[in-house]
Structures are given as C-alpha cells and as structure tokens.
Structure 1
C-alpha cells in the first residue's frame, strides 16, 4: 500500500507532465505561427515584426543589431531589409556619426503596419484570457517566466 507522500509525489509528477505537454503544445503553435504568418497576403513575418519593434523602440538600428534582435543571419537580414524597404516600411541611410555604418529606421507606413499588428495581438490576447481570473493569469505568467529561465539555463 502506498503512503500519502508517495501518492502526492505521483500527483506532482502528473501535474509536471501536464505542464510539460502544454508547454510543448505552445512551442509547436509558435513554430506553426512563424511559418504560417509570412504566407498570408500583406502579413509580416515574425522576424520582420521583431525588427520593426526594435526600430520602433530605438528609432534606428544597424543591420547587425536587427539580425541579433530577429535571431537571423546578416545575409537574411539584408534580404529582409530589401523587402521591407521595397514595401516602404523601412528606410536605410548612412549614419551621421560614422559614414561607414548604414542605419535603418521605420517609415510612417512601417509604423502604421506595426501598430495594426500590435492591436490585433492585443485583441487576441484579451479574447483568450478575458474569462480567466486575474490570479490564474498572474500564475500563468510566473510559470512562463520560470520556463523561459529554464530554457535559457539549459
């Protein structure tokens, strides 16, 4: 016969496994989103959004800074910037401080598209959690941050 402590340990293992499975589901959904989003007409890819967010926050950045923020290679960033510039979302120019550097900045069109993307995400998030108690949302955020630290330490 198992004692209460062994039963509690088995239950804890089951709960931890449920969390691991749910986290795996979340990561797979993220990968599907990253591959699906750029195929939608007029959609921005995950990397493009990350780059535009950095430009919105910092006003301008080099291709190297954008590569790091979007987790891309410099060659991929160059191709991405070519496309974004062609679509009128960013502009490139020589740095005033160091003419060897090319800096990228957001255009008004890029800023508008980024804000539309953010508004869509805010609406989706609000709809997804609107029926959850605040304590559950706070607990979920704490668990996600802990999982992020675990992955970073792995």
Structure 2
C-alpha cells in the first residue's frame, strides 16, 4: 500500500496518455498502410505491417483503459469499489491504489487485499498479448529481410574454417 491511502490517477497524465496514443495509433496504421502498399520484398513488408498493427492495437487498448479511468472520477469511486468488493466488504475499504503499468484502479480492503475497479479485466492481458505479438513480428520481419540474411551468410563464411588443405 502506498503512503497515500487515497492514491488515484492524475487527470492530466491520463489525458496525455490518450492524446499520445491517438497520435501513435494513427502513425502506426499509416506505416502499416505504406508497408503493404510498397510490397517489396513481400514477406518482410507484411510482417512489418503486422507488427505496426499489433502495436497500434496494444496502444489503442491501453488508451481505451485510460479513457475509462478519465470518466472514473472521485464521485464514482465509492460505488465502483462497492461493486468490486461486494456489499459485505464495502465498509472496510480503507484506500485506493492507482497504477499506470498495468493500468488499474484498486480498492484496498483491510485484511483482504486489493480489488480492481474501473478498468475491464481483459484490458491489460490484451495489451500485453498484442505487445508480445509486436515483438515477435518485429523479430520475424528482421529475420525475413534480405539484408539480414546476407549479413548472416557473410558472418558465417567469415567464421567457418577453410576446408582442409586450403590456406589463405
């Protein structure tokens, strides 16, 4: 539990996240479009476009959670906590816990832990899965690139010993 028992998200920070995410999603979708439109070489371009779309999806999902928290002001904390912890424990809520990574708002119940409220339960796992998909597609795009394959072949030839009987 943080030193401030009523910790909550900063409105300006959440607005900044939403605005930056809008720019990032737009840019990533435009990049994916350009990758698909060029199509040379086809596989690396498709993988880069997929990575850009996965990154746009992860960013968009995270921004959606920030929007949910923007509308989640102090006037609805008590009701959201009552729904999250149940009516029997609602009177024992002794503080709030807000985090940005993962994005969540928690209602702390004395002796019973913290319950998430305000952010859909699917949001953080979905953003994580899309982020991991982005990383996998970026690695695959790099490996499929002709430049990468040529550099690897050159390094392999440089490392491999000369055949028996040949000396350089």
Which structure: greater helix fraction? 1
**TM-score, normalized by the shorter chain, greater than 0.5:** no
TM-score (norm 1): 0.27
TM-score (norm 2): 0.25
Q: Which one has the largest radius of gyration? A: 2
